[in-house]
Chains A and B, each alone.
Chain A
C-alpha cells in the first residue's frame, strides 16, 4: 500500500497521524507505570544496605531479617522495572520515529551510557539477592554498593535526555537537518540537568519511603506493633521525612531554572496570560483562556518564587503564538497538585521529626499513622503530577523550540489497537505486582537467633507483644 504523494516526500517528513493523542497517551501510560518502580530502584538499595550495615555493626539479627526480606521485594520490583523500562525504549522507535531519526545522534549517547548502569544494576542486584548466606557478610554488603550507585547513574543518564528535550543544545540546524552535533555538550553541558536530577532522585526516596512506611503504618493501625514493624517503619519514614522538606528547597531551585529557560512553561504553571511585574499566584480555580477564575490570589508570589524578587517581571502566555502554548489547565492542576502534596508530605515529615526531638519517641496518635498510610499513594500522585507538569508543560514541542510533537509521530496505523492491548497487559501487570507483594509480605517472619553475645530478640518480636505496645 503506497501513497504516491507520501512516497515523494522526504523519508522522515511529518505525517498525518489520526491518533496522535492516543500515541501520546500510550507513551504517558508506559511512563506512569515505570516511574514509581524507578523510585524503588533508586531508594530501596539504600534502605536495605542501611539495615545490613546496622547488622554488620551491631550483630542484631533483626536488621538482617528485614534487609533480606526487603531485598526479595527489591528484586521482584526490579524485574518489573526491567520490562517496563524496555517498553519505553521500544516506544521511542515505535511511536516517535521522526524524533529518533532526526535527533538520535544528539541525545542517544545518554541512553548508551544508561545501558551500562542498567547492566551493573542487573548484575549486582542478582549477586546481592542470591548471595545471602553464600558470600561473606562483608562481601555481601559490598556487592550491594554498585546497585546503589547504578541507581544514581541510571537516573543521571536518563535525565540527561529529558533535560535535553526541555532545554536542547549541542547541535545546529541547517535546512531542517541536524548538523554539528556535540553530544557531550548536549547531555552534560546542560544547566537543566542538575535540578531535574536532584528533584527526581529525592522524589525516589520520598515515594519509596512513604510507600514502604505506609505498609507498616497500616500494620500499626491493625495492631502489629512489634520491634520488627517498628524498625521497618522507622527506616523508610525517617528518610522520607528528611527528604520531603529538602525537596521543597530543590523544587524552588527547579522553578527558578524553568523561569529562566522555559518562560512559557512557567506561565502555564500559574495560568499567567499577560506579562506583568509582581505577578501573583492563584490557588485553585480555573484558567479560562486569558485569566484565572475562582482562584485565591496571593499577590506577587509568582515573581517572588520564580526570581526571588517580588517585583520581577514574569513573561505571560501572550508572548508566544497560541499554537505554541501547552494545555494550560492540565499543567496548572498538575503543578498545584504536586506542590500541595509536597507541602503535606513535608508537614508529615516535620511532625515525625519534631515528636522525636521533643519526646524521643514515635508519635502516638492514630491520626499520624493514618496520615502516613495516605502519604504513600499521595506521594505517587505527586510524582506523576510532577512529570505531567514538566512533560505536558513542554508541549507542543518534543524538542523544545525545535520539533513539534506532531512532527515526530509514526505514520503506522493501528495505534488504538496497540494502546488497548497495552492497557490490558499493564492492568495484568499491576494486578500481578500487587499480588506478589502481598504474597511476599505474608511469608512468615523468621528471625534467626543472634550469635552469642548479642541480646536475643524478645520471642515472637515480629508479632504484637503486650509489653511492647504503648
Chain B
C-alpha cells in the first residue's frame, strides 16, 4: 500500500462502519413501517429507543467518508458529486427529513401526529440508503467520468447495477437492524419482542442473502471491469467470506445467540465493502487511478496523521458509548433514583470572583484595543473571554442561590 492509498483505506473503514452502524439505524426504521396495533407500538418504541443514543455518532461516519474523500481525492469527489447530483441530493433531503422526524418523534402526543412522523421517518430511512446505494453502483459500474458533471444526469444512477446495490443497501440495513434489535430486546428481558425480531432477522437474513446473490449477478453482467473482477481472486474471497458470515449469522440467530450474531452480521456487510474495493483497485473512476487522484504528499500525510490523532480520542469515546449501550445502562429499566450530589463546603474565597473577572476584562480591553496582532493581542482576547466566563459564574451564582434575597 502506498501513501496515496492510505486515506482510501480510512475511507473504506468509515464506509464499512457507516454501512453497518448507519445501516442498522436505517433498518430499524424499516421495521417500524407497517407495525400496527399495540404490539406494533411496542416494536416501534423499541426501535426508537435502541437508536436514540447512537444514531448521531453513527451518522458522522458518512461525513467522515466525505471529508477524507474531498481532502485526499478532490477531483474524484468533485466528479462524483457533480455527476451524481440527483441521488446524492435525494439522499441529502432524506437525511434532513429523517433527522427532523427523529428529533420531533418524542414530542408526539396524538395518534395522528405519531403516525405522520413515523411515516416520514420510515420512508426517508428507506429512501436515503437506496439513493446512496445507487451512487455506489454508479461508481462501481464506471458511470462517473472525471470532470464537472460530465456523466449523464439520469442513467449514471438509473441502471441495473445502481438499482441492485440500492435495493441491497436497504435490505442489508433491515437485516442488521433485526439482528441488533433482537439482541437489545433480549437484554431488556422482553420475550415477545425478542421472538418478533428473531423471526424478522431470520426472514431478512434469507431475503438479503437472495438479494445479495441476485445483485452479484446483475453487477457481474452490468458493471464491466468491476463486475468481472468481483468473481476473481482476491475480491471473490471476500464475497465468499461475506456469504459464509451471512449463513453463520442465520445459524446463530436461529439458536438465539444474538450477541455473536451481531458481530457476524456486521462482518458480512463489511466484507462486501472490502470486495468492492478489491475489485475496483487501482481505478477510482474510469481513467483515474487512486495514485492519479490523490492529493499532494503533504496533504495525504497530514490527513493520515490527523485521523490517527483523532482516532486516539474517537476510539475510547466510542468504546465508552457502545459499552454503556451494550451493557444496557441506557435501557429505561436501569434508571436509578436521582442520586444526591456529595456536597463539599465551598472554601471561603480570599478574592472575589467578580473582582478577578473585572480585572481581566480591563486588561483584555486595553490589550485588544492597542495591539493589531501578536501574542499580546491574543492574551487580551483570552482575558476578555475569561472575563465573560468568570463574571457569568459570579453573577449567576450570586443571583440564583436559594437564600438570596434578590427579587424580580
Seen from chain A, the residues whose Cβ lies within 8 Å of a Cβ on chain B are 1-2, 7, 11-13, 15, 50, 54-64, 72, 76-80, 82-87, 89-94, 97-98, 100-106, 108-109, 111-116, 118-120, 122-127, 130-131, 133-138, 146, 179-184, 191, 194, 198, 201-202, 205, 220, 225, 230-231, 234-235, 238-239, 242-243, 246, 249-250, 252-253, 256, 260, 308, 353, 356, 360-362, 364, 410-414, 418, 421-422, 425-426, 428-429, 432-433, 435-436, 439-440, 448, 451, 453-455, 468-470
Cα distance, A108 to B364, chains bound together (Å):
34
Q: How far is the CB of A254 from chain B (nearest CB, A)?
A: 11
Contact B93 A194 (CB under 8 A): no
- Give 22 A-B contacts (CB < 8 Å), ordered by A residue: A11-B146, A11-B150, A13-B148, A57-B341, A57-B346, A90-B91, A94-B81, A104-B78, A108-B295, A116-B314, A119-B314, A123-B320, A183-B299, A230-B408, A235-B400, A238-B392, A250-B384, A362-B407, A435-B104, A436-B103, A436-B107, A439-B107
- Report A-chain residues with C-beta under 8 Å of the C-beta of B146: 11
Whether A469 contacts B408 by the Cβ 8 Å rule is yes
Residue of A nearest to B101 (CB): A432
Which listed residue (B63, B83, B381) contacts A194, Cβ 8 A?
Answer: B381
- Chain A residues near B408: list those with CB within 8 A: 220, 225, 230, 361-362, 364, 468-470
The binding surface of chain B is classed by DSSP as helix
Asked, given contacts A122-B59, A470-B408, whether A113 binds B310 with beta carbons under 8 Å apart, the answer is yes
* Residues on B with beta carbons closer than 8 Å to the beta carbon of A360: 405-406
B52 interface contact, C-beta 8 A? yes
Total contacting residues, chain B, CB less than 8 A: 111
Of B147, B321, B385, B405, which contacts A127 at CB under 8 A? B321
Q: Mark B209-227, 1 if CB is under 8 A from A, else 0.
A: 0000000000000000000
Kindly identify, within residues 384 to 408 of chain B, every residue whose CB is under 8 Å from any CB belonging to chain A. Answer: 384-385, 387-388, 391-393, 395-397, 399-403, 405-408
| Distance in Å: Cβ of A168 to nearest Cβ of chain B | 15
B70 contact set on A, CB distance < 8 A: 92-93, 100, 104, 108, 111
Cβ of B68 under 8 Å from chain A: yes
**Which residues of B are found within 8 Å of A242, using beta-carbon distances?**
387-388, 391-392, 395
Closest B residue to A63 by beta carbon equals B400
A253, A364, A421, A469 pick with most chain B CB within 10 angstroms: A253
Contacting pair A7 B150 (CB below 8 A) = yes
> What's the Cα separation between A342 and B337 when bound, in Å?
45
CB distance from A152 to the nearest CB of B (A): 10
Bound-complex Cα distance A116 to B59 (A): 12
Contact yes or no, B299 A105, CB < 8 A: yes
A97-B149, A123-B320, A239-B388 known; A433 vs B103 contact (CB < 8 Å): yes
A453 to B306, CA, bound (A): 50
Q: Is the CB of A122 within 8 A of B60?
A: yes
Residues from chain A with Cβ under 8 Å of B313 in the complex = 116, 120
Query: Provided the pairs A104-B295, A242-B392 are in contact, do residues A126 and B54 lie with their beta carbons within 8 angstroms?
Result: yes
CA gap between A62 and B106 in the complex, in Å: 24
Q: Contacts of B82 on A, CB cut-off 8 Å? A: 93-94, 97, 410-412
List the A residue with the shortest CB-CB distance to B346.
A57
Q: Which candidate, B240-248, B250-258, B263-271, B328-336, is the interface stretch facing chain A? A: B328-336
Q: Which residues of A contact B148 (CB under 8 A)?
A: 11-13, 15, 97-98, 101, 410-411
Set A11, A182, A183, A414: member contacting B79, Cβ < 8 A? A11
State in angstroms the CA–CA spacing of A246 and B77 once bound together: 41
Closest to A180 in B: B296
- Closest Cβ of chain B to A130, distance in Å, is 4
B195 within 8 A of partner (CB)? no
- Let me know if B369 and A252 touch, CB within 8 A: yes
Of A116, A191, A260, which contacts B310 at CB under 8 A?
A116
Are the CB atoms of B63 and A118 closer together than 8 Å? yes
> How many whole Å from A85's CB to the nearest CB in chain B?
8
**Quick check: A80 and B396 within 8 Å, CB to CB?**
no
Tell me if B67 is interfacial: C-beta within 8 Å of chain A.
yes
Q: Which residue of A lies closest to B295 (CB)?
A: A105
Question: Which of B59, B100, B377 counts the most A-chain CB atoms under 10 A from its CB?
Answer: B100
Q: Provide the bound-state CA to CA distance between A50 and B361, in Å.
A: 20
Are B71 and A83 neighbours in the complex by a CB distance under 8 Å?
no
Residues of B within 8 A of A246 (CB): 361, 364, 384-385, 387-388
User: Within 8 Å of chain A (Cβ to Cβ): is B365?
Assistant: yes
Does A112 lie within 8 Å of B397, measured CB to CB?
A: no
B56 and A97 within 8 A (CB): no
Smallest CB–CB gap between A269 and chain B, Å? Answer: 18
- Cα of A114 to Cα of B67 in the assembled complex, Å: 9
CB pair B62–A86 under 8 Å, yes or no, is yes
Asked if A115 contacts B60 (CB within 8 A), the reply is yes
A349: shortest Cβ distance to chain B, in Å? 11
CB distance A432 to B104 under 8 Å? yes
A257: shortest Cβ distance to chain B, in Å? 8
Most A CB contacts (10 A, CB to CB) among B101, B146, B296 go to B296
Nearest CB of B to A44, in Å = 14
Chain A residues whose CB sits within 8 angstroms of the CB of B62 once the complex forms: 86
A63 and B391 CA atoms in complex are apart in Å by 19
Q: A93-B81, A112-B67, A362-B408 are in contact. Are A79 and B99 (CB under 8 A)?
A: yes
Task: Decide yes or no: A56 and B341 within 8 Å by CB, A97-B148, A118-B63, A246-B388 being known contacts.
Answer: yes
Please state if B321 and A123 are interface contacts (CB–CB under 8 Å). yes
Contact of B329 among A1, A62, A134, A230 (CB under 8 A): A134
Contact A90 B92 (CB under 8 A): yes
Given the known inter-chain contacts A11-B148, A92-B70, A113-B310, please indicate yes or no for A50 contacting B393, CB distance below 8 A: yes
Min distance, Cβ A312 to any Cβ of chain B, angstroms: 12
With A87-B95, A249-B368, A425-B97 as given contacts, are A356 and B74 in contact (CB-CB < 8 Å)? no
CA distance A23 to B21 in the complex (A): 33
Please measure, in the bound complex, the distance between the C-alpha atom of A127 and the C-alpha atom of B318, giving whole angstroms: 11
- Kindly state whether residue B203 has any CB partner on chain A within 8 Å: no
In the complex, which residues of chain B have a beta carbon less than 8 angstroms from the beta carbon of A413? Answer: 153
From residue B231, how far is it (CB to closest CB) to chain A in Å? 31
Closest to A363 in B: B408
Assess the A191–B373 pair: CB atoms within 8 A.
yes
Q: Which residues of B contact A411 (CB under 8 A)?
A: 82, 148-150
Given contacts A90-B81, A93-B70, contact A249 B59 (CB under 8 A): no
Answer yes or no: B102 CB below 8 A from chain A CBs. yes
Q: Let me know if B92 and A124 touch, CB within 8 A.
A: no
Contacts of B98-143 to chain A: CB distance below 8 A: 98-104, 106-107, 109
Contact B100 A94 (CB under 8 A): no
Q: Mark B270-304, 1 if CB is under 8 A from A, else 0.
A: 00000000000000000000000001101100110
Query: Bound complex: CA of A325 vs CA of B295, how far in Å?
Result: 32
Q: A89-B66, A412-B153, A433-B103 are in contact. Are A425 and B381 (CB under 8 A)?
A: no
Given contacts A93-B78, A124-B317, A238-B392, are A181 and B85 in contact (CB under 8 A)?
no
A122 CB to nearest chain B CB (Å): 4
Q: Which residue of B lies closest to A133 (CB)?
A: B335
Residues of B within 8 A of A108 (CB): 67, 70-72, 74, 295, 299, 303
For A93, A130, A179, A246, which residue has the most chain B Cβ atoms within 10 angstroms? A93
Q: Which residue on chain A has the smallest CB distance to residue B62?
A: A86
Chain B residues lying within 8 Å of A130, measured Cβ to Cβ, are 52-53, 330
**Given the complex of chains A and B, what is the CA–CA distance between A414 and B365 in angstroms?**
51
Instruction: Across the interface, name the chain A residue whose C-beta is closest to B340.
Output: A451
User: Please, which residues of chain A bring their CB within 8 A of the CB of B147?
Assistant: 11-12
Inter-chain CA distance A360–B339, complex, in Å, is 33
Bound form: Cα–Cα A239–B400 in Å: 14
- B399/A234 in contact, CB under 8 A: yes
Q: How far is the CB of A379 from chain B (nearest CB, A)?
A: 15
B88 CB within 8 Å of chain A:
yes
Contact A112 B100 (CB under 8 A): no
A146 and B66 alpha carbons, distance in the complex (Å) = 24
| Interchain CB contact under 8 A, B318 and A183 | no
- What separation, in Å, do the CA atoms of A429 and B100 have in the docked complex? 6
Q: Are A102 and B56 in contact (CB under 8 A)?
A: no
Name which of A105, A194, A414, A433 has the most chain B CB atoms within 10 A of its CB. A105
